[in-house]
Amino acid sequence: MKELAEIWSELLGLPPGEIPHDVGFLRLGGDSVLAVRMSALVRKRLGVALALSDVRVETTLDDLAELVRRHTSGGAPATRALPLTVTPRPDPHAEFPLLPLQQGYFVGQQDGWELSYDSAHYYLDYALTGVDGDEAADALADAVGRLATHQPTLRARVTPDGRQHVLPADAPGAVPQVRVYDLREAGPAEIATALRDVRQEMSTSGPDPTRGPGIDVRLTLLPGDEGRLHLGLSLLIFDGWSSSVLSRDLLAFVADWNAALPPLDIHFGDYVTSLADLPATEAWQADRDWWWSRLDTLPGPPALPLAADPQEVRPVTMGNREHRWRAESWAALRRQCTDRGVTPSTAMLTAFGVVLARWAGHRRMLLNSLQLNRLPIHPEVQRVVGAFAATMLLPLDLAAEATFAELAATVQATSGEHAAHNLITGVEVGREVARRRGSWRPVGPVVFQSVLGVDAAMGGGPPEEAGPLGRVVASDYFHQLRTPQVAIEVRCFELGPEMVAVFSLVEELFDTDQVTAAFAEFVALVDALADGSGWDRLPGLPEETEPGPASGLRLGLLPEPAVRHREGPPADDMEQAVADVFEELLEVPVLDRAADFFGLGGDSLLAVRAVVRLAKEAGVSVPVREFLSDSTVAGVAAVVRSRLGDQR
C-alpha cells in the first residue's frame, strides 16, 4: 500500500500521506495516459502485471491495492533462492554448452553407446475435426514461422562437437518447414497406407538438430474435414514440458493470424549460460557433497532377466504397452492419493517399484527419474521451450513387510529428499558412479517419468479450438518415443480428463511374456489403488534385498570386458599422438599408455570430441563404439592404426 501511494504521489504530484484512499485517480488529477504509466510502475516496482483493462481512471487507491492483492495471492511455491540471474545474452546466436542430459542424448546419437539410436526423439500425432482444408496448411505454416520468432529455440542447432546455438531467423533453413499430405480425395486404403508410412518414417527417423531443425511438423488432410497433426520433437532440443508449451503456442498462432503471446525476454541459451555460475554457489557445493557421500552405497538397477546383452542389440524403435484410466478411475485415484497424503506421481512410482521388485526378485534398486528441473531463476523459465529436463538417480529400498501405503509414504520422502538436491543431476552423478565403478554401462537404464499435474500447472489443458485446424481430439493420438540408454521406462501423463501410463522398452532385451505380465500387474495394482483396495495390502515383495547370484543375463550384472595394457610411456608416435589429444581435451598430463580416457576424467561428450579430434589429426574416423570398447591410450592407438591399415 505504501508503494502504491508513492507511485500515485509521483504521478499526481501530491504528498503520499495526503492521498485519500477512496477517491478515483481522475478526481485526484490523473488522466488516462497517467493511468497507463501507473500500471507500468506497479509492474516494475511490485512485479504485478495488471491487465490493461484493470486500471481505469475511476480506480481508487483502495481498489488498486485490492487488485494487487488478488494478483499476488495464490503465491508461488516456496523455492530455494539461488544467487543466479538470467539476462538476455548480448549475442543471441552465440554458441553455448549442452546441459548434462542433452549431452547424454547427443552422445546417444553417436551410435557408440549401448542402446543408442540415430536420433533421440518423441513422435506424436493426433486427430483434428472440423478442419478448414483450404486454410489449414497456410495457417499452420504461418504459425510455425511466428513460433520460430517467439521461441527462437525452434531454430536451434547442435554442432558436431556437442555445443549448441540458435540460427538467425533469416538464415537458410532456420525456420522449420511444414509438410502437408492432402488426402481429402483419398480412399480408406490409401489413407491407411499413407498414415502408416508417415508414422513409420517419423517414428524411426526423428528430427536431427545437428543437420536441421529439432522439430518436424506435418499435417495430413483427410476427407470429411478431418485431419491429423504430426509432430516430431528432438529430445536434444525440447523436453516434455516444452512439448506442452509448444503445442499451446502453436495452436494459438494457428487459430489467429494476429495472436500475440506474452513476450519472452530470455530463452534457453540465456538460462544455460547463467548456469555457468552454478558450481560457484554454496548450494551447488552442498548438493555435490550430499550426492558424492552416498555414491558408493547406491544400489544397481533392478536385476531384470534379459534376453540379450544390451551391447549386442541395435534397436530401431521402442515397444510400447499402454493403458488408459477413464476419467472416473483417474479422479478416484486422485482422491485416494489425497486421502493417503501422497501425490499421484508417487503412487505410480511406488507401483512401478513394486512391479520391478517382483520381476527382478529383490527389493533394493536404483531408478532413474526424469525431472522437469527448471530452476526458478527467472519468471519466464516456465514459458520458454528448451531441453531443461534432467534425470535424478533415485534409490528405492522397499521394505518386505510394509503395506503399499507405507511403501508409498517412504518413497515420497526419499524422492523428496533427493529432489531437494537437484543442482547436481543424474547424468553427472551417473558419470561419477561409472568412473568409480570403472564401468561404462548405463547407470540408470530403468526410468520413471510422470507429468501428472502438468496441465493444472499450466492453467488448464491444452486449447481444443485451433481456428482453421478445427478441434483437437486429444484422445485420438498415436505416439512413439526413443530415449537412448534406456532399457525400460514408464511414462504417466494426463490426456484431457483421462490418465495414461505407458511402458516403453527395448523389446529385443526382454522376454515378451515377462513384459506383458509385468505390465498387467502394474495396471491391476493401479486399479486397486483407484478403488481403494490396494493401499493396505502387502504387495508380496521378494525376500531378498539385493539380487542373488546371476543366473543368465541380468540388468546391472552384465559382464565387463576387461582390458589390460602394459603400463609405461607411449610406445610409439601413434600412441604419443593419442596421448596428446587426451591431454588437450582432459587438461591433465597423460604419461601412461594404459591410462583410460574415462579414468583420467573424461566423459562421454569429451569422448565424442576426442573422436572428432582424432579424425582431424590422424585422418581416420574412429567409430565411437570402438573408442569406448578400449579407451586407453594404447587401445585407441591400436584402433587408429588398424583403421589406417584398412584405408591403404
Interface with other proteins by CB under 8 A: which residues?
29, 31-41, 43, 52-53, 134-135, 138-139, 142, 257-260, 468
Three-state secondary structure string covering 56-80: CCCCEHHHHHHHHHHHHCCCCCCCC
Quick check: helix, strand or coil at residue 393? strand
CB of 198 to other proteins, least distance (A): 24
Order of strands across the sheet with 215-222?
A: 178-182, 215-222, 226-234, 121-129, 471-482
Task: Kindly tell me which of 132 and 521 has the beta carbon lying closer to other proteins.
Answer: 132
Pairing of strands 163-166, 498-505: unpaired
Residue linked to cell 501530491:
14
Judge contact between 282 and 537, C-beta under 8 A: no
Q: Among 230, 210, 209, which residue's Cα sits nearest to residue 219?
A: 230
Task: Kindly tell me which of 33 and 189 has the beta carbon lying closer to other proteins.
Answer: 33
**Terminal CA-to-CA distance of the chain, rounded, Å?**
82
Task: Kindly tell me which of 170 and 282 has the beta carbon lying closer to other proteins.
Answer: 170
Task: Kindly tell me which of 79 and 258 has the beta carbon lying closer to other proteins.
Answer: 258
CB of 136 to other proteins, least distance (A): 9
Task: Kindly tell me which of 31 and 572 has the beta carbon lying closer to other proteins.
Answer: 31
DSSP alpha helix (H) spans, 420-487: 426-437, 454-457
Quick check: helix, strand or coil at residue 604? helix
Going by the DSSP 8-state scheme, the letter that residue 364 receives in this structure is E
The DSSP annotation for 165-229 comes to EE--TTSTT-SPPEEEEE-TT--HHHHHHHHHHHHHHHHHS---TTTS-SEEEEEEEETTTEEEE
CA distance 169 to 154: 10
Please state, in angstroms and as integers, the Cα–Cα distance from residue 251 to each residue in 187, 223, 393, following that order.
28, 21, 35
What's the number of CA atoms in the CB half-sphere (13 Å) around residue 252? Answer: 14
Task: Kindly tell me which of 179 and 199 has the beta carbon lying closer to other proteins.
Answer: 179
CB of 144 to other proteins, least distance (A): 12
CB of 150 to other proteins, least distance (A): 13
Quick check: helix, strand or coil at residue 439? coil
Three-state secondary structure string covering 533-561: CCCCCCCCCCCCCCCCCCCCCECCCCCCC
CB of 458 to other proteins, least distance (A): 22
CB of 262 to other proteins, least distance (A): 12
Task: Kindly tell me which of 192 and 260 has the beta carbon lying closer to other proteins.
Answer: 260
CB of 13 to other proteins, least distance (A): 8
Task: Kindly tell me which of 39 and 164 has the beta carbon lying closer to other proteins.
Answer: 39
Please state, in angstroms and as integers, the Cα–Cα distance from residue 42 to each residue in 9, 22, 75, 262, following that order.
13, 18, 18, 18
Q: Among 250, 185, 196, which residue's Cα sits nearest to residue 221?
A: 185
CB of 168 to other proteins, least distance (A): 16
Task: Kindly tell me which of 149 and 533 has the beta carbon lying closer to other proteins.
Answer: 149
Task: Kindly tell me which of 29 and 416 has the beta carbon lying closer to other proteins.
Answer: 29
Task: Kindly tell me which of 120 and 136 has the beta carbon lying closer to other proteins.
Answer: 136
CB of 49 to other proteins, least distance (A): 11
Judge contact between 575 and 633, C-beta under 8 A: yes
Task: Kindly tell me which of 137 and 633 has the beta carbon lying closer to other proteins.
Answer: 137
The DSSP annotation for 221-256 comes to EETTTEEEEEEEEETTT--HHHHHHHHHHHHHHHH-
Judge contact between 391 and 369, C-beta under 8 A: yes
CB of 52 to other proteins, least distance (A): 5
CB of 239 to other proteins, least distance (A): 30
- Number of helices (H), then strands (E), belonging to the chain: the values are 19, 14
Three cell numbers written together for 34: 497517467
CB of 363 to other proteins, least distance (A): 58
Task: Kindly tell me which of 139 and 183 has the beta carbon lying closer to other proteins.
Answer: 139
CB of 176 to other proteins, least distance (A): 16
Task: Kindly tell me which of 26 and 615 has the beta carbon lying closer to other proteins.
Answer: 26
Q: Which residues contact 438 (CB under 8 A, 6 or more apart)?
A: 560, 599
Three cell numbers written together for 368: 532413474
> Phi/psi of residue 115, each to 5°?
55, 55
CB of 21 to other proteins, least distance (A): 22
Q: Among 371, 439, 365, which residue's Cα sits nearest to residue 113?
A: 439
